[in-house]
Amino acid sequence: MILIKLGGSVITDKSQFKTFDRSQASRLCKEIADSGVPTMIVHGAGSFGHMLAKKHSLQNGLKDPEQIPAAAQVHHDAMELGMLMTETLMENGIPAAAVAPGSCFVMDDGHLVVKDDEAIRSLQNIGIMPVTFGDVVMDRKKGFGICSGDQLMEVMADLFKPDKVVFVSDIDGLYTANPKTDPDAELIRTVTPETLDSVSSVSDVDDVTGGVRNKMESMLRMCGEGRECVLINGTVPGRLLALLRGEDVTCTVARM
Ligand code: IPE
């Protein structure tokens, strides 16, 4: 099984509040379906989560009662995106169920903990893909917190032991600098813990859950036992399909 995170930057327009990129999401779901490879999908929140979460500092937990309506709203919006994604998967022939992460996981001081994995395991066992997503999740110490798709990827990788982990983003991979602002930025094709150490300031967007460096760190944590973690650009048509088919594509591969 290949565990795939569809980043919020590829399924939403991150600059426009709550804007689903239906055509891109649909193309990516079709590429996943066409590959014929068993997969499981986690997705980010994009503009359905980050904007409001940042405005109300939800990533720092509950500090002020004025954050409560915003926390409820972000959860609602994340669920809405989850429904849009599962609808798109089903249109492409993949039975899928949106599973709010708070229904099986809880946070403990920002750390994601498995509470009850029976529902997601049963869905997977009968052939319905459980789709989890970045969302507001209750936190035992902080009241609530932001659970990112990347945190979910780590937990899902632990639970389901995928052969490969793929992060689909809007950049070709990890760069030596921000490729959107620095013309000298170079693509790093292979990342090991040593290469990551030499890349100090890789950061892309103004997210509440961190940029590319954080993503690479969590990717490295998911490597091991021959498991590769790949970061690829999902905005290039056919690239995800080619990767899933085992072809050589432009990407960054993390391995231990
Ligand atoms: C963010 O999840 C969750 C919320 C802000 C509610 P991610 O951090 O995984 O989302 P993207 O992929 O960066 O949009």
What is the reported pLDDT for 219? 80
Query: 43 CB under 6 A from ligand 1?
Result: no
Ligand 1 in reach of 208 Cβ (< 6 A):
yes
Query: Where does the pLDDT of residue 191 fall: very low under 50, low under 70, confident under 90, or very high at 90 and above?
Result: confident
What mean pLDDT do residues 46-50 have? 97
pLDDT at residue 81 tops 50: yes
* pLDDT at residue 4 in the model: 98
For helices 212-222 and 149-160, the axis angle rounded to 10 degrees is: 10
* Mean pLDDT score, 216-240: 90
Query: How many whole angstroms from 13 Cα to the centroid of ligand 1?
Result: 13
Of the listed ranges 79-93, 180-194, 237-251, the one predicted with least confidence: 180-194
Comparing CA positions, the residue from 256, 154, 153 lying closest to residue 195 is 256
User: Average pLDDT for residues 214-230, to the nearest whole number?
Assistant: 83
> Which ligand 1 atom is nearest residue 47's CA?
14
Q: Can you tell me the distance from the alpha carbon of 55 to that of 57, in angstroms, rounded to the nearest whole number?
A: 6
Query: What is the amino acid identity at position 177?
Result: A
CA distance 145 to 206: 18
Residue 186 CA to ligand 1 center (angstroms) comes to 25
Q: How far apart are CA 185 and CA 230, in angstroms?
A: 19
- Above 80 in pLDDT, residue 38? yes
Per-residue tokens: 17: 């509040």
Q: Looking only at Cα atoms, what is the longest distance across the chain?
A: 51
User: Probe ligand 1: pick from 20, 41, 50, max atoms within 8 Å of CB?
Assistant: 50
Q: Domains plus CATH for the chain?
A: 2-254 (3.40.1160.10)
Best residue among 13, 207, 216, 218 to mutate for probing ligand 1's pocket (most ligand atoms within 8 Å of CB) is 207
Asked if pLDDT for residue 225 goes beyond 80, the answer is no
What's the rounded Cα separation, in Å, for the pair 120 and 117?
Answer: 6
- Residues 34-59 as b/e (b if ≥16 CB within 10 A, e otherwise) read ebebebbbbbbbbbbbbbbbeebebb
For residues 253 and 191, the answer to whether their CB atoms sit within 8 Å is: yes
Q: How far apart are CA 89 and CA 83, in angstroms?
A: 10
Tokens of 113: 């903990």
Tell whether the model's pLDDT for residue 206 goes beyond 50: no
Residue 179: per-residue pLDDT: 76
Distance from the first to the final alpha carbon of the chain: 20
- Cβ 152 vs Cβ 158: under 8 Å: no
98: pLDDT strictly greater than 90 = yes
Distance 42 CA to ligand 1 centre (A): 11
8 lines ligand 1 (CB under 6 A): yes
Q: Is the CB of 132 under 6 A from ligand 1?
A: no
Residue 100: pLDDT band by 50, 70, 90 thresholds? very high
Give me Rg for the CA atoms of the chain: 17
Q: What pTM value is reported for the model?
A: 0.93
Mean pLDDT, residues 200-216: 56
Q: Is the CB of 146 under 6 A from ligand 1?
A: yes
The stretch 3-20 carries a mean pLDDT of 97
Q: Which residue has the tokens 């490969």?
A: 164
Secondary structure element (H or E) that encloses residue 152, with its range: helix 149-160
The rounded mean pLDDT for the chain is 92
Q: Could you tell me which residue, 256 or 129, shows the higher pLDDT? A: 129
Q: For residue 173, give the DSSP letter.
A: S
Q: What mean pLDDT do residues 247-252 have?
A: 96
- Nearest CA to 231 out of 158, 149, 171, 184 is that of 171
Question: Does ligand 1 come within 6 angstroms of the Cβ of 145?
Answer: no
